[in-house]
Amino acid sequence: MGGGKRQDPADHQRLIIEGRPYHWASQAGRRRASANYGGTMTTDVPMSVLGPGGVEETWLLLLEESEIPGITLKSCDGWAWSADGDDIFEAMSRIRLQIEPLGYQLLCNGARIDAFPSGMSRDMWGGRVLYILKPGRAAYRRVSIFDRAEPASVGTVAAQQGFYDSWLAGPKHWPLTDRARSALAELRFRLRDRY
C-alpha cells in the first residue's frame, strides 16, 4: 500500500468498485479473504466525509487487515488515497493528513479531537478501539474507530494530537463512580466479543 498500489486481478469486487465508483454502496461491510495477499482480510466500510463548504458525502474505506494494516479511501468521483501504519489508527491518521489540505474530514470516531487509543487498545485491537477523553478525567468510555461522529466533534490530526498531549499532561480525577462504570463497561465489552 505505502510503496505502491497492489493489483489483484482475482479480486473481481474491487475491480467493479474501481470501474464504477458510484455503485459501491451495495458492497458496504462485505469481508473477503484474498489468498494473493498471504491471508490478508479486506473490509469495505462506508465512510461519511465532510467536504469543503460543509457538504457531506459517503466514500468507501477499504481496510486491509494484515501484519501491516493499510487503508485506501475512495471518493465518489474516483479519487483514492492509501496509507499503512503500525495499526489502523496510525493508517487512518496518515489518510487524514492527505485529505485535510483538500478541505475534507472523516466523520468517524477516529477523527474526533477528543478520541485516542491507549497503548493496550493498540496492542489488543490494532487501534480499532479508542477512548473518549475528558480534561481532568480518566479515560473510560470506549468507541469503535469507524463509528460515525458528528461534524462538530471532528478536527485535524494536529488538533487531535494536541488534545491528547494536553489530556496526558493534566491531572486525572477518577472518582469511585467512574471506576465502577469503567469496570461495567469492560465487562460488557468483553462479553459482547464472546457472543
Q: Does position 5 have pLDDT exceeding 60, yes or no?
A: no
Total Cβ atoms within 10 A of residue 79: 13
What pTM was estimated for this model as a whole? 0.69
For residue 188, what pLDDT is reported?
81
Residues 63/88, Cβ–Cβ less than 8 Å:
yes
For residue 51, what pLDDT is reported?
94
For residue 9, what pLDDT is reported?
34
- The rounded radius of gyration (Å) of the Cα atoms in the chain is 18
Spell out the alpha helix ranges (H) of the chain. Answer: 12-19, 88-99, 119-125, 157-169, 176-194
DSSP E strand boundaries for 14-128: 31-34, 40-50, 56-65, 70-74, 80-84, 105-106, 115-116
- Residue at grid coordinates 466523520: 107
Q: Does position 117 have pLDDT exceeding 60, yes or no?
A: yes
For residue 67, what pLDDT is reported?
84
For residue 39, what pLDDT is reported?
61
Model confidence over 18-71: pLDDT tens digits?
A: 333 322 232 333 333 333 445 678 889 999 999 998 999 999 999 998 888 999
pLDDT (mean) for 116-126: 89
Model confidence over 137-189: pLDDT tens digits?
A: 888 799 999 999 999 999 999 999 999 999 988 876 666 676 677 778 878 87
CA distance 82 to 97: 11
> How far does Cα 190 stand from its chain's mean position?
21
pLDDT (mean) for 100-126: 93
Model confidence over 75-89: pLDDT tens digits?
A: 999 999 999 999 999
Model confidence over 17-29: pLDDT tens digits?
A: 333 332 223 233 3
Helix axes 88-99, 157-169, angle to 10 degrees: 130
For residue 28, what pLDDT is reported?
33
CA distance 79 to 135: 38
- Residue at grid coordinates 485516542: 116
| C-alpha triplet 74, 80, 84: angle, nearest 5° | 95
For residue 12, what pLDDT is reported?
31
For residue 176, what pLDDT is reported?
64
